[in-house]
Structure 1
């Protein structure tokens, strides 16, 4: 076998063949993620024009036939002939890998595109791509089929299935019509190749809208228009922000503020050795001085979550890199120094502050701009340019120290509040750690330390145990008789607990019901919550099947979402589904007597109609449960507590960001948006569902 392996077995893939053979290397995958990555490559080219102040409007249109079109009013792709290849600039950009204006030729001081493969890769992975360039008073056109230039003969609407004639000897950049003086821009429409991408791959409108909003924040003055024409009713959203990343931080921050949004800006220079293309087309190493511009917006709030978004030349770096490392390093250094200087006033003692204490409640947008940054791979998720770390650190240290030591009344007050918050976070962490070290699974002899109203279970197998949080003492009495005491524990709560969305941490901990729930679950709260320490495998919220029960369930879910979120993320929080009605069907003929439970008015009416149609007799009046306490133990066990028969709804975090906004809208301290929400949705209310 080894002797049969020779040079004739080797293949050399040239040009765009390599892209079509191994698409994952260039766009990550061939599913929806890769499809969206192709679209980002085209959009980012237009954004680079806006970043260089050559354009101020970008439109992205998702068309019904599966194609997508990107329009901008930038300078337009060059149409003249590139001397080394003898091809027009349009054809070079779309057919040659590692070709473009972003290799230090002076066209862009900073850009998102770096490797010169974006447009050509999209072209290679498209069954058809049409490009129109407005430049020099004319509109110039060129079409490609799977990367090959030529002409489509369309009959009606453009289609990738239309007859295609490839150029044989020389390519032709066609022209049509004349334009007003000064008009320029580029329009690209392409159809992704079904031979490459999976059938299930789809463009995500929501992801596109999120990215467009983000880009509009990062490039002040840029207007981003996203239009989706795929549905019956086209939808369109427009984004334009003049405040830049300051507005971005205000948009991201959900909790009440401790500080204003602070803008920290500066720059630095560094040198690096890069290969440069000389006039003869040869590469030679050269020392180049680079400038790195740093622009950071930060804001601390009352919460404990940390939200950091980082960007390099408006390209998101979700996995961070040297700029984020420099940012965090300087923040930690500055705060440690300030806490040492104010240790007596803040009563710091001998405790050591950690990074998480400082970053609690922080919302930050970290951006840097520099020419030819070094990324790890084409997907650009991590910045690798090492010199950026020191520059960001220096700028942050200088600017942040200036604010924290400012003598201006507003900034001085905010700095004092912020330092007090950091110290409180530090002491809370130390206290929680000490509590967790002593907190262990309680056995029967130790159960006296738990709330007296807890009816605990006997099993110590965490995976099998269940904690039912029940509404009121009347329901507790029935539930005690209905439960399986080996593995089902009961904790009653009295009425509606504290709304923790708009209460402070101290108020929450001082609330008897909230404190009892946290103590019984035994895994801590907030940032120190440890899901592995939870005493029960399932936490089940069991409230009445009415409006008050739904409200209590919402308040409890708010507590879990804000202070025990890992428990929800692990899928260990459930809502019980007690029935609303019991239908007693009389025996008839050979049919025995039946007890049927329904869970809504609509279900009850349908069931009654079906039984009546069958000629069955229903005992009147039907029982409608006003609360769990009205059920006897057998009925409660059979419908709600016995794992063999019950139905549970698992509470999940599929869309944590959306859930955060909904919780803040419905349960937060800001009343006006909630009032607007109720008024705007009043027409959708089904009055028959009101339990009154």
Structure 2
């Protein structure tokens, strides 16, 4: 019994797996495929897809205007949900197409990949390419009516879901009888021609919330009127309580369009880059026997670009192939941007604006640039039916060639007015390049700073054992020789030592990046542990006191000044909180000969005035002493002497550094340590007269 169950299951599975024959194949004929998979043709069935259907019908009328036929297009959004597009062009052909035996109107609205844009002669440059626009809209409509005026006759035909027939009344719900053909429905004056299409989108196909956007339609109509000078597009919306009607016509073409798009004030006049060229394209062509044969076809390419630089920093680029917008660019935009960068770099080579090592990139050249890029060619290769990206490879090279030559002529012009504008543009591009480099350096500095603040402490730090921040002290010590003495003199429980080699970087003159690259500055910021600049956190500081301990000579004073500059610029809260000090080492030592009981053997003085006073006092009291020792540096003291005079809290003297007037301190630091030499020189000269030359320790 257990063996029989698997055998029956296997037999059933085998029957299901082999039950696949020709009768199971679904053949979608005509426009059935469109209704089955609408997103393949219009992208989606939401508002975007609904608008795409409208663009297809409008673009057919615009293609006629682009070819020189018709100067008016009317678009009406009806209150009953219908959409009507009317033009005054040649009108769709009404005669019989020999291969299908159908009228031209039926071919255009019922056959996929059929239309006048495949052959040679009807259209030279058009937005339509695949021949599915009108037929797809027809397939996705619950009703479509078309009327054509040609040769004094008005022809008419209606469709339901792409099937030709007749409706007994108005609207898509009227009784429909299939099987009708194109018929005469009226007369018009001789010379009057055009096409009128009115359709109702099938609400079984489109999502319930899909609605036509008047704003999008108006924007597209305005854009098209710029691209086809002299074409008037009337948009009428009857859906609301009030009828809204606008007419768009712009005879200025893409130059006027470029000015309309520009978000800033111009620094150049409108620049037009125009040119034509030819290229050979290999395409499959149907021969007389119906076979596809690769054939070399000569294509004409027309390039027309309007651009101008402005005072701002925003880049605005609109690109078009024939009259179809390509929002995602393509080979024409790639060629344009590549040539723009190349022409700018070549023009700058002939000037002294760029310094050695500097270079301009595409982003630099595009900064503040508004441009409209248009190309016209027959049968462009688009990526997908939505035509958002041009894919024709040869366009890249030809557009780059034309742009480089035309723009190079502008940038190197010898005409005074143009030369001044070109100079302004190149200065703007160079400025953008330097700003980009500076921004990148700042970003790298911030990354380095973050890494610095989170990294381990430097090995040369001799840290203390205590974790009590208020009690802990950090001595920043000048030189390794003084470090050895200070290490023996310190109380390692709460006193930490950080040696620095000589004079640190003057951060008043240096950038943030240079400061963080400096080993000594970076070590101090790491050890303090509270960050730097705007990110400094006083509560995160690892020490209650920071003490500068340097020699009591001019070099030591300079080092203390450099350290004070670092703390003022990048760790100012420590100064404002009164937690930064300078140690006061002695300048002289008196050694008493045969001191009496209770009398100190060594007496220290911390200034020349104090030294003279003490020497006079000892002499007056007949106290004998050896020749006083003059300390030239901390390294001349032994550990006991340094501890007693400079480091021990019981005997030492500290000078607290404070910031009582931040504005005045800022000015003083800039004068003493900044880039301007003249104020510092004047300060030194004025102070020189107050110094007694005999007191200088030379």
CA contact (8 A) 1:348 1:423 kept: no
Match of 2:173 among 161, 164, 169: 161
Q: Does 2:533 align with 1:449?
A: yes
> After superposition, what is the alpha-carbon deviation per residue over 1:402-460, rounded to whole angstroms, capped at 9, x for unaligned?
11111111110000000000111111111122122222468995566239xx9x8979x
- Aligned match of 1:437: 444
- Aligned match of 1:308: 317
Q: Does 2:432 align with 1:425?
A: yes
Pairwise CA distance, 1:17: 0.5
- Aligned match of 2:577: none
SS at match of 2:280: strand
1:464-475 to 2 correspondences below 5 Å? none
1:564-603 to 2 correspondences below 5 Å? none
Pairwise CA distance, 1:249: 0.6
1:595-634 to 2 correspondences below 5 Å? none
- 2: distance between equivalents of 1:206 and 1:349? 50
Match of 2:217 among 208, 211, 216: 208
> After superposition, what is the alpha-carbon deviation per residue over 1:643-666, rounded to whole angstroms, capped at 9, x for unaligned?
xxxxxxxxxxxxxxxxxxxxxxxx
- Aligned match of 1:93: 108
- Aligned match of 2:252: 243
- 1: distance between equivalents of 2:124 and 2:532? 69
- Aligned match of 1:190: 199
1:314-463 to 2 correspondences below 5 Å? 314-342=323-351, 344=352, 346-439=353-446, 440=449, 446=530, 449-450=533-534
Pairwise CA distance, 1:250: 0.2
SS at match of 1:196: coil
- Aligned match of 1:35: 50
1:166–1:446 distance in 2 versus 1, CA, 3 Å = same
CA contact (8 A) 1:104 1:372 kept: no
Pairwise CA distance, 1:338: 1.3
- 1: distance between equivalents of 2:341 and 2:102? 53
> After superposition, what is the alpha-carbon deviation per residue over 1:586-639, rounded to whole angstroms, capped at 9, x for unaligned?
xxxxxxxxxxxxxxxxxxxxxxxxxxxxxxxxxxxxxxxxxxxxxxxxxxxxxx
CA contact (8 A) 2:530 2:538 kept: no
Q: Normalization by structure 1: what TM-score? A: 0.63
1:213-228 to 2 correspondences below 5 Å? 213-228=222-237
Pairwise CA distance, 1:270: 0.6
CA contact (8 A) 1:339 1:348 kept: no
1:100-119 to 2 correspondences below 5 Å? 100-119=115-134
Pairwise CA distance, 1:105: 2.9
Pairwise CA distance, 1:276: 2.8
Q: Which runs of 5+ in 1 are unaligned?
A: 460-518, 520-692
SS at match of 1:311: strand
CA contact (8 A) 2:303 2:374 kept: yes
CA contact (8 A) 1:82 1:88 kept: yes
- 2: distance between equivalents of 1:402 and 1:104? 38
SS at match of 2:240: coil
SS at match of 1:35: helix
> After superposition, what is the alpha-carbon deviation per residue over 1:94-123, rounded to whole angstroms, capped at 9, x for unaligned?
001111000133100111111111000000
- 2: distance between equivalents of 1:278 and 1:142? 33
- 2: distance between equivalents of 1:370 and 1:55? 20
- 1: distance between equivalents of 2:436 and 2:273? 29
Pairwise CA distance, 1:278: 4.5
RMSD: 2.1
- 1: distance between equivalents of 2:69 and 2:231? 11
SS at match of 1:2: helix
- 2: distance between equivalents of 1:446 and 1:222? 67
CA contact (8 A) 1:67 1:189 kept: yes
Match of 2:40 among 12, 22, 25: 25
1:250–1:82 distance in 2 versus 1, CA, 3 Å = same
CA contact (8 A) 1:258 1:414 kept: yes
CA contact (8 A) 1:27 1:378 kept: yes
Pairwise CA distance, 1:76: 0.2
CA contact (8 A) 1:104 1:371 kept: no
**Aligned pair count?**
451
Q: Which protein shows a greater Rg?
A: 2
SS at match of 1:377: coil
> After superposition, what is the alpha-carbon deviation per residue over 1:220-271, rounded to whole angstroms, capped at 9, x for unaligned?
1110111111000011111111111000110000111121110110011011
- 1: distance between equivalents of 2:287 and 2:86? 34
Q: Normalization by structure 2: what TM-score? A: 0.63
CA contact (8 A) 2:530 2:539 kept: no
- Aligned match of 1:62: 77
Pairwise CA distance, 1:9: 2.1
Match of 2:151 among 117, 124, 136: 136
Pairwise CA distance, 1:5: 2.8
- 1: distance between equivalents of 2:224 and 2:325? 9
- Aligned match of 2:68: 53
- 2: distance between equivalents of 1:320 and 1:457? 51
- Aligned match of 2:675: none
- 1: distance between equivalents of 2:292 and 2:120? 13
